[in-house]
């Protein structure tokens, strides 16, 4: 290594050091600020239980869909969800991309009262739906993109209804018509309700016992949809256990696909584009550095 | 913008970087160009399925295929006979009837006059027992071949297949 | 080839223009990487116009169809998802790049004499960008599109006497609706081309007075400059590479990071989402708008005036700053003020993101108080900068004679 190169190298190190230092300073400042601001616990947004993150296989740069789960999920969607909900941006025919045969697609479509060229529109009349549920069930095509918490939220809703033991707890707590401080803690950890407001909690428990649709993760806890998926609600043909949790996991996988069928194409192209850009940028940096080395 | 005096810079690294960069710009243009090609929903309309089981001999239906009309005619023995006979005559656009049908019973032709693109009238309207284009008086026979009038070519036969006995699929899957 | 150029040059001096304004255009040799952001803004503008033009070839402005047609672009059109995600994220990156560009100008005194007109063109571009971005956000016709349009257009009703009529005129109806969507689409298509025109004026103004530099001193000697090509073309291209990597990471792997989930719900004029927020780049201004709530019936108008004033005050910045030195590099007091201003803008943005009635520290500190304080600091920056320079309070450090 000759002298000139050493000098060049040193100046680069020095310059890089300066850049790194200022970048670090900005990052530390931002992080400190963010920590101060976030740790301040903004009051208005508390009180809503956040669904836990699930290990979805399709997330991340290299994430891929579990094909078997996708297929099962499409079956759950067609045979269960579509009783009330539409998935209007997906046509039955498109399910062949998930590995269904033409005959299977035809059967699924006919089961829902449609033909295979049709969009996945529920046979439930929106007016009738409004009469019996008070709301028109939302279209599910974009549901995993249209809610805060994305697929974790949808999964949280599907699995967040009151269980039998929750009901038992509610009945036990409300036997004397009120919630003690001790009971509040127990209820808060089981049903994810705010322990600071026993009155509101008692109100919620009363409605739960009264048979209203309680869900841990729905903002406000009560809504129009009765628990849609139970153990064994849909018969799987591939031997997978059809528990509520499994059905939910599969249908959310399918809905995540339905929300953006091009997402795998996007991720596959992204790797190539970014790798190309990294190579080009390194080359441009080399050209730039050599050119500027003469300038003092 | 590289001038002769900049010769020293025109070394391998600069040229390579320029080439890689130019390739990237060309590559970036591709999604824009490709966005004009038929989209997935249009492509899903690329084929039309026709149930031909309800067609009586001599009956014809017009079905839309890729936004264009297609005649599906279930021919009578007499119509087939007429078409076969004309094979030997001097035709403006020579073609054998057997080459224009997959099953002699069914004639499937794109119903756009090869003159200026009008839709010809149904079977039996023209001379030769076939189709008459009302715009400029082109007559097509029972095989959809041009026989008389200004049109230069026979009515084109689209790609089609019989998926089963009663289902005709027009267009390539 | 050279003969053809000779022929052309006799009629239109292209070569000379390129030489004097591009290739041999003298540029200070000490520009740092913060100077890359101007050319980066041009890159993003080109990306936005190109992707926008091709999106417009598939889009339909219609209250009954727009939401569906955006999904059609995402699902059916070849590379439609790429065009749309690049365009949606491009908006955020455009503001990111332009904010850095503006702050760079503020830090190094690039707005000072003789660059006032250059600075003003920049603010006009920024103002038009905000209008364009706002109208573009309406086009997908989701819940945030609709309610964002409703809230922002309602600001006009604060104008005395004609306000109410004006809002109805802008809507073309009695609420945001199909006529609004159609006119916003037409303007969203037109404005970027106008922006492009003002960018040319911005560059003309730049080339008339030449670039400022980190030392903020006038360039006297040719030794202090470099020909723009190849030095700054290559440096700008290197910046483009780095930028595109970051941009593509978002477009391909976090395309919804800057988007609100609520905008994937079709517009519903009967129901407002629980928590509506503007896009992040409007948040500081939104916070300023909301912070004026203590003037009774005058609050609404005052809020709007404060928000508009927050941008308009930039126009007089060149006359507020009276320091004999341009660059804050040699102005310790101004430098501290500047960083307070930057942090203040971030906090304002955070206040704008949270609900108006939120509070921190277990309810001890309502956010509205934070918002008011930060608004005061925002405007205070300009006042204090004027005060310390007009009354010679700031003692600047020695400035080098040459680069």
**Residue A135, token pair as written in the block:** 């709301």
pLDDT recorded at residue C274: 84
- Decide if pLDDT at C276 tops 90: no
pLDDT mean over C336-345 = 97
CA–CA distance, A119 with A122 (Å, rounded to integer):
9
CB within 8 Å: A287 and B13: yes
Averaged confidence pLDDT in chain A: 87
Share of chain C above pLDDT 90, in %: 92
Q: What residue segments make up the domains of chain B, in order of their start?
A: 1-37, 43-170
Q: Residue range C251-273: average pLDDT?
A: 95
- Joined tokens for residue C106: 């503020």
Q: How does pLDDT run across A54-110, given as a tens digit for each residue?
A: 999 999 999 999 999 999 999 999 999 999 999 999 999 999 999 999 899 999 999
pLDDT of residue C37: 98
Query: Residue C54 and residue B9: Cβ atoms within 8 Å?
Result: no
**Taking 80 as the threshold, does the pLDDT of residue A42 lie above it?**
no
pLDDT of residue A11: 59
The reply to whether residue A91 touches residue B44, judged by beta carbons under 8 angstroms, is: yes
In this prediction, residues C45-52 reach a mean pLDDT of 98
Sequence-distant (≥ 6) Cβ neighbours of residue A42 within 8 angstroms: C354, C355, C358, C359, C360, C367
Q: Which residues of A touch C363 (CB under 8 A)?
A: 43
Torsion sign across C-alpha atoms C162, C165, C168, C169: negative
Angle at A133 between CA C264 and CA A189, to 5 degrees: 75
The complex scores an ipTM of: 0.93
Please give the full DSSP string across chain B, using - where no structure is assigned.
Answer: ---GGGGGG-SHHHHHHHHHHHHHHHHHHHHHHHTTSPPHHHHTTS-EEEE-TTPPTT-EEEEEETTEEEEEEE--HHHHHHHHHHTTS--SS---HHHH-SSTTEEEEE-S-TTT-PPPPPTTSSGGGSEEETTTTEEE-TTS-EEESS--SPPPPPPEEESSSSEEEES--
d(CA B130, CA B147): 10
Most C-contacting residue of A29, A277, A282 (CB-CB within 10 A), to test interface: A277
Q: Is C262 on the interface with A (CB under 8 A)?
A: yes
Confidence of residue A43 (pLDDT cuts 50, 70, 90): very low
**pLDDT tens readout for residues A215-236:** 999 998 999 999 999 999 999 9
Element (H, E) at C126: helix C116-138
Cα(A110)–Cα(A125) distance, integer angstroms: 17
pLDDT at A20: 61
Answer whether A274 sits within 8 Å of C248, measured CB to CB: yes
Contacting residues of A for C240, CB less than 8 Å apart: 284
Which tokens in the block code for residue C210?
Answer: 């030449």
Using CA atoms, how far apart are residues A31 and C377, in angstroms rounded to an integer?
21
Report pLDDT digits (tens) over B86-139.
988 889 999 999 999 999 999 999 999 999 999 999 988 888 999 999 999 999
Provide the pLDDT for residue C296.
Answer: 85
> Does the distance separating the beta carbons of C72 and B35 come in below 8 Å?
no
Q: And the tokens for A95?
A: 């399910």
**Contact predicate C261/A145, CB 8 Å:** yes
Asked if A6 reaches chain B (Cβ–Cβ under 8 Å), the answer is no
Model confidence over C208-230: pLDDT tens digits? 999 999 999 999 888 899 999 99
Tokens of C281: 């780049």
A32-36, A133-137, C207-211, C395-399, range with the lowest pLDDT: A32-36
Q: How far is C358 from chain A (nearest CA, A)?
A: 5
User: Which residues of A fall within a CB distance of 8 Å from C280?
Assistant: none
pLDDT grade for A47, boundaries at 50, 70 and 90: low
Q: Is the pLDDT of residue C19 over 70?
A: yes
Q: What's the pLDDT score for residue B44? A: 82
Percent of chain A with pLDDT over 90: 65
Subunit contact B21:C72, Cβ cutoff 8 A: no
Which CATH number does the domain B43-170 belong to among 2.60.40.10, 2.102.10.10, 2.60.40.350, 1.10.10.10? 2.102.10.10
Measure the CA dihedral C351/C352/C355/C361, to 10°. 0
Contact A287 B21 (CB under 8 A): no
Least confident of B40-44, C8-12, C79-83, C105-109: B40-44
CA C147 vs. chain centroid, Å, equals: 22
Q: What are residue B139's phi and psi, to 5 degrees?
A: -110, 125
- Residue B170, strand partner residues: B48, B160
Residue A225 token pair: 């949809």
Stronger pLDDT, A59 or C358, i.e. the higher one: A59
Say what the pLDDT of residue A116 is. 87
Q: Which two tokens stand for residue A5?
A: 């190169």
Residue B86 has which token pair? 């004309």
Buried b (16+ CB within 10 A) or exposed e, C139-155: bbbbbbbbbbbbebbbb
Q: Is A215 on the interface with C (CB under 8 A)?
A: no
What does the alpha-carbon distance between residue C299 and residue A181 come to, in Å, rounded to a whole number?
A: 44
Query: What is the structure's pLDDT at B137?
Result: 92
Cite the active site residues of C. Answer: 207, 211, 235-236, 279
Beta bridge partners of B71: B62, B109
C261, C358, C359 ranked by CB distance to A148: nearest: C261
Chain B CA closest to residue A119:
B41
Lowest mean pLDDT among A245-259, B35-49, B94-108: B35-49
Nearest to C76 among B1, B21, B39 (CB): B39
Local confidence band at A6 (pLDDT 50, 70, 90 cut-offs):
very low
Q: What is the pLDDT of residues C93-152, one digit of tens each?
A: 999 999 999 999 999 999 999 999 999 999 999 999 999 999 999 999 999 999 999 999
Residue B94 pLDDT: 92
Query: What average pLDDT does the segment C335-343 reach?
Result: 97
- Testing the interface with B: which of A116, A272, A280 to mutate, by most B Cβ within 10 A? A280
Distance, C-alpha A128 to centroid of its chain: 29
């Amino acid at each position: 290594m000759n002298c000139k190169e050493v000098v060049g190298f040193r100046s680069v190190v020095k310059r890089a050091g300066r850049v790194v230092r200022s970048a670090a300073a900005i990052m530390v400042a931002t992080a400190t600020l963010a920590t101060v601001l976030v740790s301040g616990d903004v009051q208005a947004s508390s009180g809503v239980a956040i669904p836990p993150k699930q290990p979805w296989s399709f997330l991340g740069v290299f994430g891929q869909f579990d094909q078997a789960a996708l297929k099962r999920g499409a079956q759950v969607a067609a045979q269960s969800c579509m009783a009330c909900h539409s998935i209007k941006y997906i046509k039955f025919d498109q399910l062949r991309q998930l590995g269904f045969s033409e005959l299977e697609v035809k059967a699924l479509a006919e089961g829902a009262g449609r033909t295979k060229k049709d969009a996945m529109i529920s046979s439930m009349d929106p007016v009738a739906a409004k009469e019996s549920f008070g709301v028109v069930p939302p279209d599910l095509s974009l549901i995993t993109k249209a809610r805060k918490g994305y697929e974790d939220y949808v999964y949280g809703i599907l699995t967040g209804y009151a269980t039998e033991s929750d009901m038992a707890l509610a009945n036990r707590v409300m036997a004397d018509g009120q919630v003690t401080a001790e009971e509040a803690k127990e209820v808060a950890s089981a049903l994810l309700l705010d322990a600071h407001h026993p009155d509101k909690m008692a109100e919620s428990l009363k409605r739960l016992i009264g048979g209203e649709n309680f869900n841990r993760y729905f903002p406000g806890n009560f809504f129009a949809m009765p628990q849609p998926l139970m153990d064994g609600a849909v018969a799987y043909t591939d031997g997978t256990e059809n528990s509520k949790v499994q059905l939910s996991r599969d249908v959310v996988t399918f809905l995540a696909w339905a929300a953006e069928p091009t997402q795998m194409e996007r991720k596959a192209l992204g790797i190539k584009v970014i790798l190309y850009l990294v190579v080009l940028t390194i080359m441009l940096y080399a050209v730039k550095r050599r050119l500027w080395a003469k300038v003092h | 913008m590289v001038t002769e005096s900049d010769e020293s810079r025109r070394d391998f690294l600069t040229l390579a970087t320029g080439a890689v960069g130019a390739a990237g710009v060309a590559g970036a243009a591709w999604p824009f160009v490709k966005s004009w090609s038929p989209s997935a929903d249009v492509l899903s309309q690329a084929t039309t399925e026709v149930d031909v089981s309800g067609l009586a001999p001599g009956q014809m239906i017009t079905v839309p295929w890729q936004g264009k009309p297609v005649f599906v005619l279930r021919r009578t023995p007499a119509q087939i006979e007429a078409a076969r006979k004309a094979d030997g005559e001097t035709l403006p656009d020579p073609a054998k009837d057997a080459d224009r049908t997959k099953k002699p019973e069914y004639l499937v032709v794109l119903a756009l006059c090869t003159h200026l693109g009008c839709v010809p009238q149904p079977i039996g309207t023209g001379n030769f027992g076939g189709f008459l284009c009302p715009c400029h008086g082109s007559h097509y026979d029972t095989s959809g071949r041009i026989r008389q009038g200004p049109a230069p070519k026979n009515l084109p036969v689209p790609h089609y297949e019989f998926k089963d006995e009663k289902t005709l699929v027009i267009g390539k899957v | 080839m050279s003969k053809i150029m000779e022929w052309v040059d006799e009629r239109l001096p292209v070569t000379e223009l390129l030489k004097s304004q591009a290739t041999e255009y003298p540029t200070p040799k000490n520009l740092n990487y913060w100077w890359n952001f101007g050319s980066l803004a041009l890159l993003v503008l080109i990306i936005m116009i190109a992707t926008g033009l091709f999106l417009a070839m598939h889009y339909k402005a219609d209250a009954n169809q727009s939401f569906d047609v955006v999904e059609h672009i995402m699902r059916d059109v070849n590379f439609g998802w790429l065009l749309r995600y690049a365009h949606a994220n491009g908006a955020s990156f455009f503001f990111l790049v332009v904010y850095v560009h503006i702050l760079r100008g503020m830090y190094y005194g690039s707005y000072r004499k003789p660059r006032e007109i250059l600075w003003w063109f920049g603010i006009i571009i920024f103002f038009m960008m905000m209008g364009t971005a706002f109208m573009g956000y309406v086009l997908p016709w989701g819940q945030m599109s609709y309610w964002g349009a409703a809230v922002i257009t309602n600001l006009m009703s604060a104008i005395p006497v004609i306000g109410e009529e004006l809002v109805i005129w802008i809507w073309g109806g009695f609420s945001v609706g199909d006529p609004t969507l159609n006119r916003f689409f037409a303007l969203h298509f037109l404005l970027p081309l106008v922006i492009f025109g003002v960018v040319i004026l911005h560059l003309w103004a730049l080339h008339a007075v030449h670039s400022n530099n980190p030392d903020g001193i006038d360039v006297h000697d040719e030794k202090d400059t470099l020909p723009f090509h190849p030095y700054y073309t290559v440096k700008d291209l290197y910046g483009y590479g780095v930028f595109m990597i970051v941009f593509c990471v978002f477009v391909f792997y976090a395309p919804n990071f800057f988007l609100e989930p609520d905008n994937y719900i079709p517009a519903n004029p009967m129901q407002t989402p629980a928590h509506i927020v503007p896009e992040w780049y409007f948040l500081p201004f939104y916070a300023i708008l909301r912070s004026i709530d203590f003037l009774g019936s005058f609050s609404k108008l005052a809020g709007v005036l404060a928000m508009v004033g927050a941008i308009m005050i930039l126009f007089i910045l060149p006359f507020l700053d009276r320091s004999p030195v341009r660059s804050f590099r040699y102005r310790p007091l101004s430098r501290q003020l500047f960083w307070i201003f930057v942090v203040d803008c971030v906090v304002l943005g955070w206040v704008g993101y949270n609900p108006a009635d939120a509070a921190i520290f277990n309810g001890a500190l309502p956010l509205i108080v934070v918002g008011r304080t930060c608004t005061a600091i925002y405007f205070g920056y300009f006042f204090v900068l004027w005060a310390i320079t007009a009354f010679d309070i700031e003692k600047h450090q020695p400035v080098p004679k040459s680069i």
